[in-house]
Amino acid sequence: MKLKYLNFLIVFFLFILSANAEEKKSKFTEVKNTEFNIYSGMFDFSDDGKRSALLGLQHQNENLNRDTFLGNLSPITGALITEDTAAYLYTGVQAQYKIGLFNLTPSFTPGLYHEGDGKDLGHLIEFKSEVQLSLDLSKSSEFGFSYNHISNASIGDKNPGANSYMFNFLKNF
């Protein structure tokens, strides 16, 4: 039941975002440089006892992008919550590499983790390493798949880590 409710919320939120973007596009000619990434997937899919559905939102301000020898880097901020009320609030950096219609986006984001009724990752401070592959659907939207690993780099008493996968919808405003 929780998963059906979670899927309904995702579809509803995507519909509102798309409708709102079309309304703004017709009223204003200025293009905004803000990207939102809405994602849903499976938190800690490799642990049969603690896996749970997740929902997340990530923000990127494209005005802060910088071209460097490592590629196009930009700051990101986001949060995710699982059906077991575990939550992760993070901020960090991502690189963007365009390969035709595809975008390869690795990222690194330190953050704060609250286990709720979910998995104990061993520490309040956790680090998320992620890679995302997305396909350009239009000039302002993408659909992708991502994989991440969250761990505390052994700064806690234990460091079980969590591996997750997500489906992503990215929209520029």
- 57 Cβ contact partners less than 8 Å away, ≥ 6 residues apart: 36, 37, 38, 39, 78, 79, 80
High-pLDDT (> 90) share of the chain, %: 70
High-pLDDT (> 70) share of the chain, %: 82
Among 3.60.9.10, 2.60.40.1840, 3.40.630.30, 2.40.160.20, what is the CATH number of 36-172?
2.40.160.20
77-100 confidence digits (pLDDT tens): 999 999 999 999 999 999 999 999
Burial class of residue 139 in the structure, from the number of CB atoms within 10 Å of its CB (0-12 exposed, 13-18 middle, 19+ buried): exposed
The domain locations on the chain are: 36-172
pTM metric for this prediction: 0.81
